[in-house]
Amino acid sequence: MCLAPPRIVLGPENQNVKIGSTLTLECEADGNPLPHIWWKKDGQPVNETSQVFFTDDAIELTIDHVEVSDSGTYVCVAENELGIAEVEAEVVVINVGPPRFLFEPYDLDAIEGTTVEMPCKAENDDILQ
């Protein structure tokens, strides 16, 4: 049996997510003995809550209904008695506002059977499209 320190084979990726959406970060590691995986956010351990949960063995960290305060540096930590391996990812939660009209539709008189164009243009802060 060959012993080996932890090695992260699939690390979390940087993500931009919309406020209110679901964030999922993945991390897989190997080593012998098999490493224990846990998560940190901005240097502090992440604990399970009603909105934050882990899959078996903490391979996935999921946060439901993300808030701006969930933005930060997340670190996957894989640990066994031979060592520690870490990989980090930056998460940015973006507060996207509602759409707004650049110019609004307006009432228009038309003659039956003719073609009518009604220009309307809107935008929002959604930079994730």
What are the residue boundaries of the structural domains of the chain, listed by start? 4-95
In the chain, beta strands by DSSP E: 4-10, 15-18, 23-26, 28-32, 36-41, 44-45, 52-54, 60-63, 72-80, 83-94, 100-103, 121-123
Is 3.30.60.50 the CATH number for 4-95? no
Band (129; pLDDT cuts 50, 70, 90): very low
- The model's pLDDT over 31-88, given as tens digits with 9 standing for 90+, comes to 999 999 999 999 999 998 878 878 877 789 999 999 999 999 999 999 999 999 999 9
Compute φ and ψ for 31, nearest 5 degrees: 155, 170
